[in-house]
Amino acid sequence: MKVLGIETSCDETGVAVYDTGAGLLAHALYSQVAMHAEYGGVVPELASRDHVRKLLPLVHEVLGDAGLQVADLDGVAYTAGPGLVGALLVGAGTARALAWALDVPAVAVHHMEGHLLAPLLEDDPAGRPEPPFVALLVSGGHTQLVHVEGIGRYRLLGETLDDAAGEAFDKTAKLMGLPYPGGPRLAALAPQGREGAYRFPRPMTNRPGLDFSFSGLKTQVLTAWQESDRSDQARADIARGFEEAVVDTLAIKCERALDEAGCDTLVVAGGVGANERLRAKLGEMARRRGGRVAFPRPAFCTDNGAMIAFAGALRLQAGQHEGPEVRVTPRWDM
């Protein structure tokens, strides 16, 4: 079964074809980051308009790369939420129109389920983690620990009470004057920081539970930055201290979640999963426990069409799809 996947929930237009027999056939991404940079953040209306411009050319490109005609498709999957309503509607409208014209099923995918299943997109099926496992979803909009008992069977173990981890990265970067998108820039700066120059608290780790809170950390960084000499070195030192605090906090809670769920395997997904310190720290923890941690390749940590094609293919295989109406769910619990 060959499934086209379409992702347009925010500022990346992602398209891919996943074949349930042969795996991922092709994928392409167009990022709007440069366009939004001028405004210091995503402008929803501009995002929708740009998806309109880029989506069909990307579908053509991906079908060409996969050596397929549009009529070869057996289904169309699209991100139906959560996300920006206008951006979601571009993907949903296009996907449904294509599915209707081709007389194939269309399937609505939850964006975070896409992220959650991205580590299962391994080229090498032997390297593929199988449920049950614990997933850490860390993106700009979410920080969640989920017990994945099976495909479609997800139990929320803990989540952030305020800012998401990626949001904390972005806001912290912004308050130290780094341009949008700040998270990866802050992470790139952190290795130039001196060890021990700043130590920030690891929020909510000294009491039981699996919830997170990152907004206090941001305030602490603001104070540290205002009291510093605001030099490049101070910025790098604070970036390092901040990154260490976030990564340690995530690692402590991941270990607790593995204990609580009785799992050996941790899967990490979402944009912050591209963070090198987080990858190293969780790898260390897994080795110490004799368990395993799986990350999607960095390109599939951030938003992409491949994860949507894959999640949609699994749903279609399970016989799930929707009626013909175009419907999106901007706020949607998994």
Find out whether 265 and 299 touch, Cβ atoms under 8 Å.
Answer: no
- Residue 170 known to bind ligand: yes
- 109 is an interface residue for ligand KG4 by CB under 6 A: no
Residue nearest to ligand KG4 (CB): 183
- Residue 111 known to bind ligand: yes
Q: Which partner from the list Zn ion, ligand KG4, none does 274 bind, CB cut-off 5 to 8 Å by kind?
A: ligand KG4
By CB atoms closer than 10 A (0-12, 13-18, 19+), residue 206 is: exposed
Contact string (CB under 5 A) for Zn ion, positions 138-157, x = contact = -x------------------
Distances 188 to 16, 191, 201, 235, 239 between C-alpha atoms, Å: 29, 7, 21, 12, 9
Find out whether 13 and 50 touch, Cβ atoms under 8 Å.
Answer: yes
Q: Which stretch binds ligand KG4 (CB under 6 A): 146-154, 164-172, 257-265, 312-320?
A: 164-172
Contact string (CB under 6 A) for ligand KG4, positions 267-286, x = contact = ---xxx-xx-----------
Residues ≥6 apart with Cβ < 8 Å to 82: 9, 110, 111, 112, 141, 329, 330, 331, 332
- 163 is an interface residue for ligand KG4 by CB under 6 A: no
Residues ≥6 apart with Cβ < 8 Å to 32: 11, 12, 13, 42, 46, 47, 50
Contact string (CB under 6 A) for ligand KG4, positions 284-303, x = contact = ------------------xx
- 166 is an interface residue for ligand KG4 by CB under 6 A: yes
Q: Which partner from the list Zn ion, ligand KG4, none does 86 bind, CB cut-off 5 to 8 Å by kind?
A: none
- Residue 304 known to bind ligand: no
Residues in the chain: 334
- 141 is an interface residue for ligand KG4 by CB under 6 A: yes
Q: Which stretch binds ligand KG4 (CB under 6 A): 71-79, 90-98, 120-128, 181-189?
A: 181-189
Q: Which stretch binds ligand KG4 (CB under 6 A): 32-40, 161-169, 204-212, 219-227?
A: 161-169
Rg (CA), the chain: 20
- Residue 141 known to bind ligand: yes
Where do the H-state alpha helices sit in the chain?
33-37, 44-66, 85-102, 111-117, 165-175, 182-189, 215-227, 232-261, 276-289, 298-301, 306-317
Binding residues for ligand KG4, rule: CB under 6 A, are 10, 139-141, 166-167, 169-170, 181, 183-184, 187, 270-272, 274-275, 302-303
Q: Which residues are annotated as a binding site for substrate?
A: 137-141, 170, 183, 275
